[in-house]
Structure 1
């Protein structure tokens, strides 16, 4: 009998996202301590698990932020079950879920050819910088909780391809997270979030109108976690963001290919100093 007939793909239950995050940790992706809950809030229907004879062996997220934009992530097959076609099956399920969307992903460069077969085209690279950055408290930024949440959502929408209020509420409110905002002339001009991970901390998103504001936010965020390893994922086209990371003594350790099935969304990449996450965009 073809063993693939014993493989099924179904929607995840809420608690099963934790399993996906554990697998991500085993792959060396260093997820955040509370990523599972935050990811699930973005789209509870967009998480899939593949079972072979009742055993979970594959996972994929295909989050639909709205009716037109989605993002693929958490694409993992347990090592012992690779090469059997299980990955393709769960991939097809996710792609079918996002069939009417412009779907994005951050994939390893070596897999670009495979993603092109599913209609993805390269937009640019994201570069992961890492290091023990030094920072200082900054009087020009404040806690995001001091601002009406709707203002933060509105600003985030300017820098991200879709509105994502449900996700952001959990992201900035997760235990131990630091969310800071810069307000200039009575309006939001940038914000950033730091979250604790299995090792060190990650900053993302880091959105700002100017290099100076991004630097202020970054300094204030890392000042909250002195001595911690900091990770910042930077779009390569934003030269000022790369310069910011290098000024803080951070080194490039990894890169991804940001790809989309349709035209790259129209967002001001010069205001994206840090990607929210490689899993959800």
Structure 2
């Protein structure tokens, strides 16, 4: 039975940093400056569970638009698990996003069966690979900030179920991050972002029209951070992306499944070489 003094409420901005700290403790290695990008995307979409005033669990339920939302940060502190607190947090998040939206999440292996019971189906697996930064900057790479923001938003929405201009505006401006683009005939045909994480750096997203463009962007992002550990989450459904990580002899270290409540979005997965994040999709 859930205690009467357990409540679920909307987080304040400062409390999202707590969720990121908990995520780091779970071994998920979130970005060090992700909180601001996340909060600005949906200021009401981060929920905190409190027991007698003590934070004990959290979840994010970000509504991108009226048709699509994404769940992340579903955590209950270990000593408070098994009491039904997590289920109340979960139900509050699902109620916030509503039954009409298609809802996505990245589920860890241990929770995937539970998510299936809640109506989620697996679209593909995301495999986290680890490598080491370094190498030579390839030709043809540009600073993404030289591309018009409108063109970036239009390109990005080919790979995501919703337009996300607010998120992108903050994501590409994160401190200590780098965002590169690749142009062909004057048009954006690929981009990638690398940002500092609790351990090393994380690449995401890495979207490109073909494997050669993706590899050039990948080399550029590695070259920006010599000798540092670098991680990125690759859809196993993209054979070209798997070929790329195998050529560079990267090591798989972690796995999740991208799951949805309704139809699996019709996205060009063969051009998604790294997903943006596991928390917001």
Pair in the same fold by TM > 0.5: yes
What is the alpha-carbon distance in structure 2 between the residues aligned to residue 107 and residue 249 of structure 1?
A: 26
- Alpha-carbon distance in 2 for matches of 1:273, 1:49: 33
**TM-score under structure 1 length normalisation:** 0.97
Alpha-carbon deviation of 1:98? 1.4
Question: 2:102 is matched with which residue?
Answer: 102
- Range with greater deviation from structure 2 (35-44 or 46-55): 35-44
Whether 1:210 aligns to 2:210 is: yes
Q: Is the 8 A contact 1:133 1:248 kept in 2?
A: no
Partner of 2:68: 69
Distance 1:63 1:41 in 2: 10
Q: Give the structure 2 partner of residue 222 of structure 1.
A: 222
What residue number does 1:236 align with?
A: 236
- Structure 2: give runs of 5+ residues left out of the alignment: none
Aligned-pair CA distance for 1:139:
2.0
Instruction: Measure the CA separation in 1 of the matches of 2:167 and 2:8.
Output: 25
Q: Specify the alignment match of 1:52 in structure 2.
A: 51
Q: 1: CA distance between counterparts of 2:174 and 2:112?
A: 33
Report the CA distance between 1:135 and its aligned residue: 3.1
Alpha-carbon separation, structure 2, partners of 1:136 and 1:39: 32
Contact preservation (8 Å) 2:129, 2:232 = yes
Q: Distance in 2 between matches of 1:212 and 1:42?
A: 32
Contact 1:43 1:65 in 2 (8 A): yes
Instruction: Give the equivalent residue in structure 1 for 2:147.
Output: 147
Q: Following TM superposition, by how much is the alpha carbon of 1:123 offset from its aligned partner in structure 2, in angstroms?
A: 1.1
After superposition, the C-alpha distances for 1:74-108 in whole angstroms (9 at most, x for unaligned) are 00001111111000000001111112210011111
> d(CA) in 2 for partners of 1:17 and 1:248?
35
1:12 aligns with 2:11: yes
Q: Distance in 2 between matches of 1:26 and 1:114?
A: 22
How far did residue 133 of structure 1 move? 4.4
Report the 3-state secondary structure (helix = DSSP H, G, I; strand = E; otherwise coil) of the residue aligned with 1:202: strand
CA distance, structure 2, for counterparts of residue 3 and residue 109 of structure 1: 26
Q: Which residue of 1 aligns with 2:20?
A: 21
- Conservation of the 8 A alpha-carbon contact between 2:129 and 2:245: yes
Q: Secondary structure at the match of 1:57?
A: strand
| Structure 1 residues without counterparts, runs of 5 or longer | none
Aligned residues: 280
SS of the aligned residue for 2:157 comes to: helix
Q: Is the 8 A contact 1:232 1:245 kept in 2?
A: no
